[in-house]
């Protein structure tokens, strides 16, 4: 299928590794002009170089932090009029809500809710004027199946999804769609950190925790980042102008519900 992304501009947050990297790679392979944004320049440089070589086209990068105004401005200076925006940020490791301070909550909200919403605010009017826009938020399965130890993510990411539900019904008339991707357990650095934290909490070896989590998934494995990248590229394509305000589970069937 031709996704008709040739020449489209895409800004991908967290594009230096994991699911963000996979999304940037797939978008670039489909012909989009991609800028990846993250906080660590060394990692970004290596990612941009690898993506450029792999995709046969230049992938640029910008050092930026989605939690700050300066970071969001820097990202848009590097990609002033994105046709595609992928909001993606780290989550917080599992913990006990009794230990989370007000400062911790504000940091989580800036990272997983306020920052992405402000990015949407900054780009959505231009997308509507140009009659093309695809905004995809990488959130988490935890907004649909909450885990007590992931309360920061449950709360902040649910706020983003709730906000999108209203706005997405206004922008679609102008061919601007906003959707969410809800990954389950994927084979990423974030998953490795999560497993290490659980191993310390339970006293079990990390390998044992990993095998148990994989075996508990109907697919019998963790997801591959490229699977998320492919889904994001499809949602960013010219073929999805009638899909908006939706949350796409990609979790190997782990969510137990019918709807």
d(CA 189, CA 148): 21
Residue 121: CA atoms inside 13 Å, Cβ hemisphere, count?
A: 11
pLDDT at 94: 76
List of residues 6+ apart from 247 with CB closer than 8 A: 139, 143, 144, 161, 179, 180, 181, 182
pLDDT at 214: 92
Q: Can you tell me which residue has the tokens 């200076």? A: 77
Mean pLDDT of successive 10-residue segments in the chain (259 residues)?
A: 97 97 98 97 98 97 98 98 96 84 93 97 98 97 86 92 97 98 90 85 91 93 96 98 98 91
pLDDT at 197: 81
pLDDT at 198: 84
Q: Which of 13, 251, 234 minimizes the C-alpha distance to 144?
A: 251
Rounded to 10 deg, the angle between the 151-171 and 115-130 helix axes is 20
Residue 78: φ, ψ to 5°: -80, -30
Q: Which helix (H) or strand (E) holds 138?
A: strand 133-138
Q: Can you tell me which residue has the tokens 């590229």? A: 233
Q: Is the dihedral of CA 46, 48, 49, 54 positive or negative?
A: positive
Q: Which helix (H) or strand (E) holds 95?
A: none
d(CA 177, CA 179): 7
SS3 state at 255: coil
- Give the pair of three-digit tokens for residue 223: 């997801």
């Amino acid at each position: 299928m031709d996704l008709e992304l040739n020449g489209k501009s895409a800004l991908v947050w967290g594009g230096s590794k994991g699911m963000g990297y996979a999304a940037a790679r797939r978008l670039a392979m489909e012909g989009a002009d991609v800028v990846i944004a993250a906080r660590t320049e060394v990692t970004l440089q290596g990612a941009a170089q690898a993506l450029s070589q792999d995709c046969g086209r230049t992938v640029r990068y910008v050092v930026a932090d989605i939690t700050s105004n300066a970071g969001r401005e820097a990202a848009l200076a590097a990609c002033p009029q994105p046709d595609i925006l992928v909001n993606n940020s780290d989550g917080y490791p599992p913990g006990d809500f009794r230990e989370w301070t007000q400062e911790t909550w504000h940091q989580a909200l800036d990272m997983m809710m306020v920052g992405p919403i402000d990015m949407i605010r900054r780009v959505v009017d231009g997308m509507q004027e140009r009659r093309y826009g695809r905004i995809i938020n990488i959130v988490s399965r935890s907004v649909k199946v909450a885990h007590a130890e992931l309360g920061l993510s449950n709360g902040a990411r649910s706020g983003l999804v709730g906000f999108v539900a209203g706005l997405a019904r206004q922008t679609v008339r102008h061919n601007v769609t906003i959707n969410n991707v809800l990954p389950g357990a994927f084979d990423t650095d974030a998953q490795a950190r999560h497993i290490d934290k659980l191993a310390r909490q339970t006293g079990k070896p990390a390998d044992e925790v990993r095998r148990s989590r994989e075996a508990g998934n109907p697919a019998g494995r963790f997801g591959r980042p490229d699977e998320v990248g492919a889904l994001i590229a499809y949602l960013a394509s010219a073929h999805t102008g009638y899909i908006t305000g939706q949350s796409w589970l990609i979790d190997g069937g782990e969510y137990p519900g019918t709807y």
